[in-house]
Structure formats: structure tokens, C-alpha cells
């Protein structure tokens, strides 16, 4: 169903927004900087669809960048939030729902204990502080192209919007703040061993996306996470597995359910908040018990464990059954097949990579460039021009993709055959546009 090329209400809102909100958006990737055009202001969503303020309906393939495992406005989630809101929006005291959500996370994941926070950024920031407190060391190792939120020390060579906008360095982050951050190429065992051999006794932790999705989907090579586990343990550093994106999305627990490597600390977000602001970090009890008030590492939050957010998260996880994951896995595989078929048919050089049900499509300018993408340097060889042509044609046909080739596509348990048919109808046009670009 083609979308009206005119989106006057979105355009008017964007103009108003730009007067009071920098760049007109509250998170950079929402702006269509990489793909051109006016961002669509959404009015409402239902299941796998969302509708903008001009009345255009889209198939949603970002699902709020991951949280909406069961689509928009799922009645079970909405009811849970409504009920919680009717009892009060926040108390600043403990509540039963935080205990239930904590128990559910501990039941599903390898974490012994968790602390709830409000965003993935807070989770990784706090996990790093805790790792430094535990080891009494200062160096943090991260991988180029991995994004862990906008924590000062972790913005070095970050993925997501930093990659999309090709921001070489974030002004405002001082050299002192990143002096203790070492950035390594992803999937590079030799670089990791060399660094630890030289500076092992200074390293507090290695933080890695459990399976990266912020430079496009770039899964760990076989054994890479095990290797991280082994080397960190050997040198007394902690391994932090950032499951903010993968957690409760690619399996009932997350990447940990697909890859047994394990970690000392984990970070979670997105799905566990059901579309409301909730995130967590957790892991080994001996490490977690250093947190205040049990221990000396301070960490806090006025709205942490908020009753609406915990109700939404619990409701989202209640619906996250084995059958739901099987459905999403199947739908994702079918969609990847459709995209590949359309791109092959149109002769567009590309590579689709997946990590469980998360996937992304790398477009290339010519066939010689097509290869498996194992790190950020390789991810950067993709063609933004072809991606942009593909994105815009899909958008014009009512299919809403992430507006960047560095982001992954997300499905939900309510994306069904009808949705796939609609996407399939649009694909030949978008593939044709990419071929011509
Ligand atoms: N870690 C990962 C792996 C993420 O994908 C994100 C967000 N996309 C974050 C951390 C930061 O989460 P938030 O945007 O909730 O701060």
C-alpha cells in the first residue's frame, strides 16, 4: 500500500520540534540524516503496524529498536500498565513488581542478582563502575563498532548513531575520560591477547555486545566469546556481556541461551521494559554485592524499578514463551529469504547477516566487495547510497526499516504471513531502486 509522498503533518511537527529540540529529535537515529527526508511522527501503533500523524500506515521493522517483542499496544502489556498506573506511578520505595521482574530475569539468564535501572546506558555505565570497583583497576576494553549507550568512556569508535552519522569523536568527551578505554577490532583474538600480555594487570573489564547489532549484525566468530571469557579470567579482569539488544530477544534469556560462553556481568534493557524505560545489570553475586547499600560502589536512581516499567516488562516477558521465539525465528528466516531473493533478482550486491532472529543487510557498490562482515572496518565498506535508495522505496511503500545500514531489523511475535506478503510486494521496487542507485 503506497504511502502518500506528502507528509505535511510530520513536516510541520518536525519544524516545530527543531525550534525546541536539537535536530528535532530526542535520539539522533530518529532523524533521517543518513537517508534524507522528513522523519515520520507516529500517532499510534497496533500489532506489527504503526500509523503516522498524516494517517499513513507502516509495517514496523524496528519495533522501537527492539523492546516490542509482541508488537504495538499488546493488550496484555497495556492492561498491565493501566492497572499499575491506577495504583500510583512511583513511590520511591520498594514494590513487589520489582522483585518479580528481578526474579524473572534471574530465572531466565545466568545472572545471580540484578539491579534495575532506567536505560541501557545506565546499565553499562554502572556495570563498568562495578567492574572497576571489584578489580580496583581502571582500564576498560571495548570493541570498535560496538555501542553500549552514550557513556563517555564508551563512545570511542562506537556503533549505532555514532557510526550512522560518521562522527569521528564526540566533542565534550575529554581525553581524560577515554584515556582508560582501549578499543580493539572485533573478532580479533590476536589483538586481544597482545593487549592482555602487555597490560593485563591494569584491565578492569572487557565489555562486548553479546552479539553485536550496532554496526549492522556482526556475530562473534565461533569461539570468540569463549576466548574473551578465558583471557579475562586468566588475567583477573571481568567480562561484561552487553545483552541490552539481544537479551530476551534472540532466546528466552538472550544470546546466553545460544552461546554458552558466559560472563561475569550482563546488561539488559529493551525487551525487559516492554516499551517503557527499564534496564538492568547483573551477574555474579560476589561482584553484585559490592553495590551500595550492600557494599561501597554507589549506584542509585529515583525512578529505578518504576512500577509502570516493571509491570510492562513483566507482561512482555510473560508473553515471551518458547512458541513466541519459534514464531519470530521462523518469520525472520522467511523475511531474510525474501530480501535475498529480491536483491539477487535485481542484481544488488549484498550480504545478509543474522544473530538468532536479529538480522541486517549490508549493501555494497560492487560484487567484489561482498564478503562476510566480521568487524567495524568491514562494516564501513557498505554502500550508504544503495541502502538509502532501498530504505526510501520501502518507506514509500509503507515498510518502516531502521533508517541506517548500521542498525538491525527487528520483528515481533505478531508479525505474520500478511505482514510478510506486504513486505514482499514492496521488495522488488526497493531492490530495483538500490540497483539503480
Ligand atoms: N547497549 C546496547 C547493545 C544497545 O543496543 C543499546 C541501545 N541501542 C544500549 C546499550 C543503550 O541503551 P539505551 O538506549 O537504553 O541507553
Q: Are 244 and 269 in contact (CB under 8 A)?
A: yes
Please give the Cα distance from 276 to 78 (Å, whole number). Answer: 11
Ligand 1 nearest atom to the CA of residue 27, by list position: 14
- Of 254, 269, 406, 408, the one to substitute when testing ligand 1's pocket (max ligand atoms within 8 A of C-beta) is 269
Report pLDDT digits (tens) over 383-395.
999 999 999 999 9
Identify whether 293 is preceded by a cis peptide bond (ω within 30 of 0).
yes
Report pLDDT digits (tens) over 116-152.
999 999 999 999 999 999 999 999 999 999 999 999 9
Radius of gyration from C-alpha coordinates of the chain: 21
418: annotated active-site residue: no
Instruction: Please give the pLDDT value at position 1.
Output: 60
- Of 29, 118, 121, the one to substitute when testing ligand 1's pocket (max ligand atoms within 8 A of C-beta) is 121
Please give the Cα distance from 161 to 28 (Å, whole number). Answer: 6
What's the CA dihedral at 362, 366, 372, 377 to 10 degrees?
A: -80
Report pLDDT digits (tens) over 422-436.
999 999 999 999 999
- Grid cell locating 379: 562494516
Name the catalytic one among 54, 60, 242, 264. 242
Residue with cell 531466565: 108
Find, among 241, 247, 240, 237, the residue nearest to 274 by Cα.
247
- Grid cell locating 290: 559490592
Collect all residues with Cβ–Cβ distance below 8 Å to 418 and sequence separation of at least 6.
Answer: none
Global ipTM: 0.99
Please indicate, yes or no, whether the overall pTM of this predicted structure exceeds 0.90: yes
- Grid cell locating 59: 509495517
Name the catalytic one among 270, 351, 374, 400. 270
Long-range CB contact pairs, 417-421, < 8 A, 24+ = 419/48, 419/59, 420/331, 420/334, 420/335, 420/338
142: annotated active-site residue: no
* Pocket lining: 60 vs ligand 1, CB cutoff 6 Å: no
400: annotated active-site residue: no
Identify the burial level of 15 via C-beta atoms within 10 angstroms of its C-beta, where 0-12 means exposed, 13-18 middle and 19 or more buried.
Answer: exposed
- Domains in the chain: ranges and CATH: 8-61+321-436 (3.90.1150.10), 75-318 (3.40.640.10)
Instruction: Tell me the H-state helices in 136-237.
Output: 161-164, 175-178, 189-199, 224-235
For the cut 90, the answer to whether the pLDDT of residue 163 exceeds it is: no
Ligand 1 nearest atom to the CA of residue 146, by list position: 3
* Pocket lining: 393 vs ligand 1, CB cutoff 6 Å: no
Please give the Cα distance from 212 to 375 (Å, whole number). Answer: 9
* Pocket lining: 384 vs ligand 1, CB cutoff 6 Å: no
Report pLDDT digits (tens) over 10-37.
999 999 999 999 999 999 989 999 999 9
Report pLDDT digits (tens) over 412-425.
999 999 999 999 99
Find, among 211, 208, 199, the residue nearest to 236 by Cα.
199
CA angle 393, 394, 397 (to 5 degrees): 90
Question: Is residue 280 very low, low, confident or very high in pLDDT (cuts 50, 70, 90)?
Answer: very high
Amino acid at each position: 500500500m503506497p504511502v502518500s509522498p506528502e507528509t505535511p503533518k510530520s513536516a510541520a511537527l518536525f519544524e516545530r520540534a527543531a525550534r525546541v529540540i536539537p535536530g528535532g529529535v530526542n535520539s539522533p537515529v530518529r532523524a533521517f540524516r543518513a537517508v534524507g527526508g522528513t522523519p515520520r511522527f507516529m500517532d499510534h501503533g497496533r500489532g506489527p503496524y504503526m500509523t503516522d500523524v498524516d494517517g499513513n500506515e507502516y509495517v514496523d521493522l524496528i519495533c522501537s529498536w527492539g523492546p516490542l517483542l509482541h508488537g504495538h499496544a499488546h493488550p496484555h502489556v497495556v492492561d498491565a500498565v493501566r492497572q499499575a498506573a491506577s495504583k500510583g506511578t512511583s513511590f520511591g520505595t520498594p514494590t513487589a513488581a520489582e522483585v518479580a521482574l528481578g526474579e524473572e530475569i534471574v530465572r531466565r539468564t545466568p545472572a545471580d542478582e540484578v539491579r534495575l535501572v532506567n536505560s541501557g546506558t545506565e546499565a553499562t555505565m554502572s556495570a563498568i563502575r562495578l567492574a572497576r570497583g571489584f578489580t580496583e583497576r581502571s582500564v576498560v576494553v571495548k570493541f570498535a563498532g560496538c555501542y553500549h549507550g552514550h557513556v563517555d568512556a564508551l563512545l570511542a569508535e562506537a556503533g549505532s548513531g555514532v557510526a550512522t552519522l560518521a562522527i569521528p569523536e564526540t566533542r565534550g568527551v575529554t581525553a581524560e575520560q577515554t584515556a582508560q578505554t582501549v578499543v580493539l577490532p572485533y573478532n580479533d583474538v590476536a589483538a586481544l591477547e597482545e593487549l592482555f600480555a602487555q597490560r593485563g594487570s591494569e584491565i578492569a573489564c572487557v565489555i562486548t555486545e553479546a552479539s553485536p547489532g550496532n554496526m549492522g549484525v556482526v556475530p562473534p566468530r565461533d569461539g570468540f566469546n569463549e576466548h574473551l571469557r578465558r583471557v579475562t579470567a586468566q588475567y583477573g579482569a571481568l567480562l561484561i556481556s552487553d545483552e541490552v539488544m539481544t537479551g530476551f530477544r534472540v532466546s528466552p534469556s538472550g544470546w546466553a541461551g545460544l552461546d554458552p560462553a558466559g560472563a561475569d556481568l550482563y546488561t539488559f534493557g529493551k525487551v525487559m521494559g516492554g516499551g517503557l524505560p527499564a534496564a538492568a545489570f547483573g551477574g555474579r553475586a560476589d561482584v553484585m554485592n559490592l553495590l551500595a547499600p550492600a557494599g561501597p560502589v554507589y549506584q542509585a536512581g529515583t525512578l529505578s524499578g518504576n512500577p509502570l516499567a516493571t509491570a510492562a516488562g513483566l507482561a512482555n516477558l510473560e508473553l515471551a514463551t518458547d512458541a513466541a521465539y519459534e514464531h519470530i525465528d521462523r518469520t525472520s528466516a522467511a523475511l531474510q529469504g525474501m530480501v535475498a531473493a529480491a536483491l539477487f533478482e535485481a542484481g544488488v550486491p549484498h550480504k545478509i547477516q543474522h544473530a538468532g532472529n536479529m538480522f541486517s543487510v549490508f549493501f555494497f557498490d560492487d560484487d567484489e566487495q561482498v564478503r562476510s562482515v566480521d568487524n567495524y572496518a568491514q562494516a564501513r565498506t557498505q554502500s550508504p547510497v544503495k541502502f538509502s535508495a532501498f530504505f526510501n522505496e520501502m518507506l514509500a511503500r509503507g515498510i518502516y526499516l531502521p533508517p541506517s545500514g548500521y542498525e538491525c531489523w527487528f520483528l515481533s511475535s505478531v508479525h505474520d504471513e500478511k505482514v510478510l506478503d506486504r513486505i514482499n510486494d514492496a521488495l522488488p521496487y526497493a531492490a530495483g531502486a538500490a540497483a539503480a542507485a
